[in-house]
């Protein structure tokens, strides 16, 4: 157990609970068109935003431990940052460090992958996004693993490439394929049979997400595993052929292709093989992982499921423990605010519905399962509706608010954290009307919580883990204009945004204990120190600074 937090000698905090509301996926949009947060009638949030100390926080890129500020934040790393009060290396940065140090090759999973094929005489397969976009993967990671595999005596490897054209140039595939073929030729010159075996565009095969279209995954499975697809002599031939046949086609939409010799695929996945899915980002890795790992799989007919040793580059879902084996461990996060509050004997509540329950518990606690204190912590999961989110965009925000309002009234907890999933989960549907509805439903519940906080003499902190619903239309990066679909309507955007998120502090008993002007330029990791200060304690010295500029009145 950690040492308890030290009390602030100049301020003891408030009598009522400190309530941290995480409005998942709610940011400040860069464009008016497609900004569902701006379009929604969020009366309570707007009033608080206008009358309370407010600032904007960074929730993407380096501010949450990702490699660059071109990288979108996500709920996992966002809750890590909020809960631990510091920035830990995530995703690509973590993989880079692991490869540079050699730790990835000293780990159990890499050793078992290699041992498996040496024992069976099988093939080492790599599947992943084939570019240096650094959002889902990086080609340098693939190259480093191939180099190491050769050093360890792996004689046969097959690479199944998912063409990008989204995080890199739209028709840049050959800029990666041609040098890579030269790279593989060097291995073959040294007696290692390393070849590209199959591929296709990332939007056409394998990399579906959120269950949007399992046929995308089926096409990938049939192509990579079974060797079913249009046959070509090389990836270059496949790309050039499709470009000729489908004028204007971009890389992400290229149909599947199978490399064959004398009519036979050169790289089907068979019993005894080892398979690495080398994407480090999880959202588009979960479905193909399920196809490899799940016994009771019902999304499509796999026809055959080879007995392989399967591993992901990283753990794609910490709650579900998916995949079973992964090469790079999540960051070793310690000394979270939850652990500090438990060591200080403060009673806390964490609550959300199923979709984000793991985020206010597991991820908020630094990828740690279980509680720090059974006596001092209560975790409440409200079961989510099992219907498409656009059909129930209000989700379970009312039920979450019911529980929180009651807890505030009873004065049961010093600190309450909750997640309203609406802005993110409904945001991913791309249905603008549903997103607006979900945000407005959430705002009604925010008003209820505000009233309860005021009556109890507490403090309310409103924020988010990343943007999403603030950017619901695709925009041209150069002109800023909305991109239209084939029907002439705005093209829906279902991914997270790069936009900042709010930090609003509602403190109805404020008496000048801190400046109303909050610090600017900080990231969401500053929220941990902020909450500790509002509870009347001194944050750990190595926590990222609070948004508060404390101007305590001296005795």
Distance CA 223, CA 233 (A): 15
Collapsing DSSP to helix, strand or coil, 46 comes out as helix
Distance CA 161, CA 200 (A): 7
Report in angstroms the alpha-carbon separations of 441 from 109, 383, 397, 431: 45, 18, 7, 16
| 75 tagged catalytic | yes
Distance CA 362, CA 125 (A): 32
Q: How many residues does the chain have?
A: 555
Burial class (CB in 10 A: 0-12, 13-18, 19+), 275: buried
DSSP sequence for 259-301: EEETTEES----TT-EEEE----STTTHHHHHHHH-SS--SS-
How many CB atoms are closer than 10 A to CB 230?
14
86, 542 in Cβ contact below 8 A?
yes
Tell me the Ramachandran region of residue 512: left when phi exceeds 0, alpha when psi lies from -120 to 50, beta otherwise: left
Distance CA 438, CA 290 (A): 29
Distance CA 422, CA 23 (A): 8
DSSP sequence for 118-176: HHHT--EEEEEE-SS--SS--HHHHHHHHHHHHHTT--EEEEEEEE-SSSS-TT-HHHH
Closest CA relative to residue 418, chosen from 460, 469, 468? 460
How many CB atoms are closer than 10 A to CB 80?
31
Residues in a beta bridge with 163: 201
Catalytic annotation, pick one of 17, 51, 75, 497 = 75
Distance CA 178, CA 188 (A): 15
Q: Which residues are catalytic?
A: 75
């Amino acid at each position: 157990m950690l040492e308890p937090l030290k009390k602030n000698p100049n301020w003891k905090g408030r009598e009522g609970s400190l309530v941290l509301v995480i409005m998942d996926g709610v940011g400040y949009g860069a464009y008016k068109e497609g900004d569902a947060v701006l379009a929604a009638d969020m009366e309570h949030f707007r009033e608080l935003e206008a009358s309370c100390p407010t600032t904007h926080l960074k929730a993407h890129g380096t501010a949450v431990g990702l490699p660059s500020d071109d990288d979108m934040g996500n709920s996992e790393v966002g809750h890590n940052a909020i809960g631990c009060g510091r920035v830990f290396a995530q995703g690509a940065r973590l993989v880079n460090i692991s490869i540079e140090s050699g730790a990835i090759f000293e780990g159990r999973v890499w050793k078992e992958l290699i041992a498996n094929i040496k024992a069976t005489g099988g093939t080492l397969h790599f599947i992943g996004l084939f570019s240096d976009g650094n959002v889902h993967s990086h080609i340098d990671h693939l190259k480093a693993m191939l180099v190491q595999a050769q050093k360890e005596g792996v004689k046969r490897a097959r690479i199944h490439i998912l063409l990008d054209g989204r995080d890199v140039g739209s028709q840049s595939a050959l800029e990666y394929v041609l040098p890579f073929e030269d790279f593989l030729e060097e291995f073959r010159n040294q007696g290692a049979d390393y070849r590209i075996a199959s591929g296709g565009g990332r939007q056409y095969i394998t990399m579906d997400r959120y269950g949007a279209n399992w046929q995308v995954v089926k096409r990938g499975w049939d192509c990579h595993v079974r060797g079913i697809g249009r046959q070509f002599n090389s990836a270059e031939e496949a790309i050039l052929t499709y470009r000729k046949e489908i004028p204007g086609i971009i890389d992400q939409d290229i149909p599947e292709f199978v490399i064959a010799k004398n009519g036979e695929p050169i790289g089907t996945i068979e019993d005894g093989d080892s398979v690495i899915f080398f994407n480090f980002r999880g959202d588009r890795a979960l479905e193909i992982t399920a196809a490899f790992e799940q016994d009771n799989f019902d999304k499509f007919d796999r026809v055959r499921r080879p007995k392989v040793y399967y591993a992901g580059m990283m753990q794609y879902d910490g709650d579900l423990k998916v995949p079973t084996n992964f090469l790079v461990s999540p960051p070793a996060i310690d000394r979270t605010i939850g652990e500090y509050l438990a060591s200080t004997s403060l009673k806390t509540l964490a609550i959300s519905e199923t979709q984000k329950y793991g985020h206010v518990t597991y991820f908020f606690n630094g990828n740690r399962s279980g509680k720090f204190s059974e006596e001092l912590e209560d975790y409440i999961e409200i079961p989510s509706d099992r219907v498409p989110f656009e059909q129930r965009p209000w989700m379970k925000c009312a039920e979450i608010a019911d529980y929180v309002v009651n807890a505030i009234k009873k004065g049961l907890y010093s600190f309450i954290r909750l997640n309203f999933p609406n802005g993110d989960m409904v945001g991913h549907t791309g249905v603008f009307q549903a997103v607006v509805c979900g945000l407005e439903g959430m705002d009604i519940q925010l008003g209820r919580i505000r009233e309860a906080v005021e009556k109890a003499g507490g403090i309310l902190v409103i924020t988010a883990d990343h943007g999403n619903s603030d950017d619901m239309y695709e925009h041209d990066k150069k002109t800023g204009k909305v991109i239209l679909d084939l029907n002439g309507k705005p093209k829906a955007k279902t991914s997270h945004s790069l936009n900042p998120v709010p930090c609003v502090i509602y403190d109805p008993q404020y008496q000048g204990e801190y400046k109303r002007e909050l610090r600017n330029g900080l990231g969401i990791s500053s929220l941990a120190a902020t909450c500790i200060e509002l509870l009347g304690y001194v944050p750990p010295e190595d926590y990222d600074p609070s948004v508060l500029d404390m101007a305590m009145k001296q005795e």
